[in-house]
Amino acid sequence: MSESMTYVARVSCGCLKAVVVDVPSMRREAANLMSAVLPLKDRGEIVERVTTESVRTMEWECEEHRKKVQP
């Protein structure tokens, strides 16, 4: 079985803006979500396809924004 893949969209600072899991059984739902993600790419944001497992361990906020929420 192949590894599950996910599309992630990052804003210019590096924070994740959207995550869409690419699951064959949910192609219609994923297509609807991708229609929301693709305009981000058109605005110059970074959209990439990565393994779903890597998304589970990645930081969702950039270093600067993580510092702002820490006491």
Residue 25: how many other CB atoms lie within 10 Å: 7
The pLDDT value recorded for residue 15 is 92
Note the pLDDT tens digit of each residue in 25-59: 877 777 777 777 778 778 888 888 899 999 999 99
pTM of the model: 0.72
Query: Are 59 and 15 within 8 A, CB to CB?
Result: no
